[in-house]
Amino acid sequence: MPSSYVIALGSNRRGRHGAPADEVRAALAAIGGVVMMSPLVATAPLGPARRRFVNTAALIESDDSPPELLARLKAIESAFGRRRGQRWTDRVIDLDIILWSGGAWASDGLTVPHPDFRRRAFVLRPVAAIVPDWRDPMTGLTMRQLAARIR
């Protein structure tokens, strides 16, 4: 039986698929299993990145376990030209597992729910737009409640 995942997607550099919004759409197609996606939003960068980001969140269904899905997302990032290294820099695509219908997961290199999503409006607002009643397994709050607390 497939699991449901919420994936955050972001881009602020042109790539082989075109402008950042096109990169995000192409990444969604590569991931597959998309049930729903939030509207694309333009957001200010964090850290040293210079360009505005295009962000969205998608609800997907997948037979992958959380580590298998993470490996697949990293392979997609690499295929899109994502270069590993500095955090918060300009990037063609960024794909993160935010939530999983199985609750919480922790292993080397993967923590679900994503440890920073509650503090990031550019992630939380799109997530709340598609799964407002999903509960954070760590706090028990719904995505709608979490989004209402963020600026």
Name the maximum alpha-carbon separation found in the chain.
42
pTM above the 0.85 mark? Answer: yes
| Length, in residues, of the chain | 151
**Over the stretch 2-18, which tens digit does the pLDDT of each residue have?**
999 999 999 999 999 99
Euclidean distance between CA atoms 4 and 138, whole angstroms: 17
C-beta of residue 129 within 8 angstroms of C-beta of residue 37: no
C-beta of residue 84 within 8 angstroms of C-beta of residue 75: no
Residue of higher predicted confidence among 22 and 82: 22
Euclidean distance between CA atoms 6 and 76, whole angstroms: 16
pLDDT score recorded for residue 77: 93
The residues assigned a catalytic role are 82, 91, 94, 96
Average pLDDT over residues 38-42: 95
The candidate with the shortest Cα–Cα distance to 93, out of 5, 35, 33, 16, is 16
**Over the stretch 86-139, which tens digit does the pLDDT of each residue have?**
566 778 999 999 999 999 999 988 999 999 999 999 999 999 999 999 999 999
Give backbone dihedrals phi and psi of 34, rounded to 5 degrees, phi first. -70, 125
**Over the stretch 42-96, which tens digit does the pLDDT of each residue have?**
988 776 667 888 999 999 999 999 999 999 999 999 999 877 665 667 789 999 9
The candidate with the shortest Cα–Cα distance to 82, out of 10, 21, 34, is 10
Confidence class of residue 151 from pLDDT cuts 50, 70 and 90? confident
Task: DSSP letter for 19, please.
Answer: S
